[in-house]
Amino acid sequence: MSVQTVTNYRFTPAELNPAARLPGISAFLRTRNGGDFLAATIKSHIAHYDEIVAVYNQCEDDTAEILASMAQDNPNRLRVYHYTDKVAPLGSRAHAETPGDHPESMVNYSNFALAMTRHRVVVKLDDDHLAIPDAVAEICRDWREGRADPRHLHCFSGLNLARGGNGELAVPAFDPVSGGGDIGYFEVSEKTRFFHDRRFERFDRGDLKRVFAGFFYWHLKYLKTGAGFGNYRLQDHPESRFIRKKRAFQTSDFLDLAAARDRLKPGMAIRLAACFNAKARLTCARDQAVAATFPDHDLAAALDRLSPGWRRVPGLLERQTS
């Protein structure tokens, strides 16, 4: 399949068409200037899914070339679209003021990617997710063999990786974990779609209840060129809340794996809140899983055990150019 170009698209919920969907699992991936870890993300996930739908927008790096090449190598599993409208970056006034059904809205862009998937079970994949393959394989088997409860959004998370002061891999203390219930595996319905929030594209899970399924990836955002803040175009959007987040990253301490385990160990307050609040229950389950998932003495050992081959991923053993 060649790369398809899409312009002036407007999403309608009927396009999700759950009754016509095929058995199996689709991932959808939206990317802008994702070249740093895009290939590693796709390579580490593609064997587990029936398809990956990759949609790129406003790319100035080699994202388009990477996707075109990988689509040639994986013609039955990777489908690529170029979404040409100028999507407003999250955190900007333009995003806040752009209606969710407008072609330049992140909401419309995200719903396009979701609508292009063809299978009953869908998951969102970002361009900086390095898979923990055994965990991804297990959740996919559970769906394929009928053990996954379709009444749930099966949420998952990843440890955030960054570069410590001496150049070593570390966990940023200000933001140690990615995934707080916003991503997961789910059965598509006309209710499962994105809608407009002035802050970001919010996912409506419909009637699905959230359950924590595990740690399925390493989040490489902070190892990207510019620490992953480039797509927010902060120089053009001084009002963006991501300016504060960038400053927090720049002043953050960095944790080794043992310190990250200690930091994430649920305290009494969150454990008590989990008895009464569904969001707190999800967070508590996630944080409780850290010690069991990452018992290793350091991050390199954990990566060796959970994601063999990570040392061959450009940008993990060495710094990206900032």
Q: Mean pLDDT of residues grouped by 10 in the chain (322 residues)?
A: 93 98 99 98 99 99 98 98 98 97 98 99 99 99 99 99 95 97 97 95 96 99 97 95 96 98 96 96 98 98 98 85 48
What's the pLDDT at 319?
66
Contact 194, 107 (CB under 8 A): yes
Q: Kindly report whether the global pTM for this prediction surpasses the value 0.75.
A: yes
pLDDT of residue 318: 74
Please check whether residue 28 is in contact with residue 113, taking contact to mean a CB–CB distance below 8 angstroms.
yes
The DSSP secondary-structure symbol of 232 reads: G
281 neighbors 210 (Cβ within 8 angstroms): no
H/E run at residue 158: strand 152-160
How far apart are the C-alpha atoms of 167 and 169, rounded to whole Å?
7
CA 194-197-200 angle, to 5 degrees, is 80
Distances, alpha carbon 309 to alpha carbons 100, 131, 136, 306, 313, in Å: 40, 11, 16, 10, 7
The token pair at 242 is: 């991501």
